[in-house]
Amino acid sequence: MTENSLQSAKLKLTCLTCGTINAFPAARLADGPKCSSCGDALADGKVAEIGLAELEKAARNDSLPLLADLWAPWCGPCRMMAPEFASAAKTLKSRARFVKLDTDRHADAAVRYAIRGIPALLLFDQGRERNRHAGAMRASQITAWVAQNID
């Protein structure tokens, strides 16, 4: 991609707070884009806790890949992986967004995505589920797995 086409390319990101779909120049991604409605950060390298409706909307509409961690508070491996997931989110800040979905609070998500074990990582890109992984991973493994599946 040439510098001119990068500057003219538009990215779309769904605000994980209010649900607004935001469009902005791809060249501005590193500047920390904010939602045009509520002002929250759109790609700040933090993990957002969301529900099924937000997950489906972002997975369907976003230009950046979206990695969802389906977990539960009672799950030991899920709790152990949480800081690793957050670390990977910071590392991949400009390449993917990271979200968590509590399967106890949103049991419909476990049914919708046929989750049989947690933690379950679902990687969405270009409106489709690209890959999934069951079981805990370290930050370096998550980062490598995402890079392998989006490059």
Residue positions annotated with a catalytic role:
75, 78
- Judge contact between 82 and 122, C-beta under 8 A: no
* DSSP letters spanning 109-131: HHHHTT--SSSEEEEEETTEEEE
* Three-state secondary-structure class, residue 8: helix
